[in-house]
Chain A
Amino acid sequence: MTEQAKAADHHRMIWALAGALVLLNGALVLGGLWRDWAWPAVAVSFVMLVLICERVGRLVPARLRGLYERALALGFPLLILVLWQIGGTFGLINPIWFPPPSQIGKALWDVTVNFDRFSETSLLGRPWLIPQAWSEGGLQGVGALLGESHLLATVLRVLAGFVLGAVPGILVGVVMGVNQTVRLMLDTTLSAIYVLPKIAIFPIVMLMFADPFGEGPKIVVVALAVFILMAINTMAGVRQIDPVYLMAGRNYGAGPWQLLRHVILPGAMPVIFAGLRIALGTAMIVIISVEFLRAKQGVGYMTYYYWEVLVPEKMYAGLVVVMAMGVGFTAALHWLQKRLMPWTR
């Protein structure tokens, strides 16, 4: 078959599949059967969509390949949001438990601009009131204003816990990677604590603080999770360094500190950063669950609070904020990685 004939074949196939897709779902909706057959219908539709996109992909010329790939990566989640919206409007999805994206967006706007009088909090801390707070109470006034922010509270807890856990974690990991005695002594213990859900030891951590309900225990439990992960990952990173680099370092006159600075740390850096990515995800899980459990403030608290008072769209708004935070932190880490590891590009 010639290239042209193949292309024509692809075109025919795309139209046939698209037609079948619309026909199948249309028939189910019109026949009132869609809600009962929702899962099989979604599964079949997805497979057909994949087949369509594959054919489209073969027709895309090489110079538009990048555009096509981006369209696919961003278009699919967008399609889900659109379908979710349509499904909600036409009653195919229960809008009470699965409020359509437009409602979630509206709720997100609401929690952003409104102040919650009951818990005396707001999502961002109403930054538009900063000038007023400044003229009335100076720096302290601004602090008090931002102190009501859910987002800021969570961000500060994650950052503090992350730094307090990652720095000693990397240090201990390096020692474990370099020294067999320390490694043998600590490895089993760390592996055992690693699998322990950190939320399960939160009550113990609370007891260690004079103010069990303050910020201390929340930060420390995040730090603990990050510490364990970073110690284990850094150790693995140090151990995978090709011994020939250590030999070269020593042969060219590096002392222990120079070896650490010029060979061990940069050699372990890729694995350390992979560990930081994982630790970030874990830190988010831990802080959100701690806030679910025991906090008067924070994005996790906000999310759970709106679940308890049965305002699902605001609960979803909280989840959106959590996701946005994750994306933001990951981007920051990526930026840091590019700065610290210029040789990987």
Chain B
Amino acid sequence: MNTETTPAPKIRARAVYKTYDTASGPTAAVQDFNLDVADGEFVAIVGPSGCGKSTFLRMVAGLEGISSGSITITPGPEKDRPSNSVVFQEYAIFPWKTVIENVAFGLQMRGIPARERLEVARSWLDRVGLAKFADYYPHQISGGMKQRVSIVRALANDPEVLLMDEPLGALDAQTRVVLQEELLRIWEETRKTVLYITHSLEEAVLLGDRVVLMSAQPGRILEIYDIGLPRPRSFGTTTLPEFAEYRAMIWDKLSAEVTRAMEMQK
């Protein structure tokens, strides 16, 4: 957990607090959150449900206000690159736009001419094998395909950092494995800075360079683990003995938090 290394971190969160003002008084969702994510690093955040990990991601995305503290995303050399793009758990691709229009949406909002943005979108659809579904509407494709579209929409936007909020959470187990491998492949190719929220410990260990473990509400960082598994990774990585070790080590702490979270809900 060394935060003082020389190149400026891509994402820098310092003493971040989030408090919700509810009718029954203020509720702390995120408490004293400090995290640096290096350029090109893949950081996964796990924690019991309701621990505020999605809230933190939305604060990084600027979709939610920060009560105190600061979050900065360091801009790169290219000027008009968007600072972040979110992949939502509920896909959030627009039902009224075709697949290719959805993928080109971010570029369209930035005023990229139609020819150019559709070209970019098409090449991304090609990379995930969705080229022939370009003119379909979302209701005509499966859940796995929708989430592919949602991921590719973010990548086509070419942001400084990619923020993924339980992107595979709504998918069935098999589709999930396929998309995890696809994510690994694309990440190897692009080396984007990724902040990845998940409730699956296996997923976090498989994908992440580091795994951040959050406590039950209010969300604080309990521990940050460096995952030294070799890259490129794939589904085969999950059979390595080191994988099992990492999983067992983190699960020890996570299970205690999950139990605590369940007790708090009673």
Contacts and interface: CB of A to CB of B under 8 A. Distances in A.
Is this pair of chains taken from one and the same complex? yes
Interface of A: 242, 244-245, 247-248, 250-255, 258, 262-263, 266-267, 269, 341-343
Interface stretch (B105-113, B170-178, B210-218, B245-253): B105-113
Interface stretch (B44-52, B88-96, B121-129, B257-265): B88-96
Nearest to B94: A245
B84 interface: yes
A135 to B, nearest CB: 51
Nearest to A267: B96
A253 B95 contact: no
A343 B105 contact: no
Contact of A262 (B63, B94, B95): B94
B85 interface: yes
Given A248-B88, A343-B138, 6 more contacts: A244-B90, A247-B63, A251-B61, A251-B85, A258-B109, A343-B139
Interface string B152-174: 01000100000000000000000
Chief secondary structure at chain B's binding surface: loop
Nearest to B105: A252
A253 B90 contact: no
Contacts of A247: 58, 63, 86, 88, 92
Kindly list the 7 A-B residue pairs having the minimum CB-CB distance in the complex, ordered from nearest: A266-B96, A253-B109, A252-B106, A248-B92, A343-B137, A244-B92, A251-B86
A343 B90 CA distance: 19
A252 B109 contact: yes
Contact of A251 (B84, B90, B96, B137): B84
Interface of B: 58, 61-63, 82, 84-86, 88, 90, 92-98, 105-106, 108-110, 137-139, 153, 157
Contacts of B157: 252
16 contacts: A244-B90, A247-B63, A247-B92, A248-B86, A250-B63, A251-B62, A251-B85, A252-B105, A252-B109, A253-B82, A253-B106, A254-B109, A258-B109, A262-B97, A262-B105, A267-B96
Nearest to A247: B63
A242 B94 CA distance: 10
Contacts of A244: 88, 90, 92
B92 A343 contact: no
B63 A251 contact: yes
B195 to A, nearest CB: 14
Nearest to A250: B63
Nearest to A343: B137
A263 B94 contact: yes
A15 to B, nearest CB: 47
A199 to B, nearest CB: 38
A79 to B, nearest CB: 39
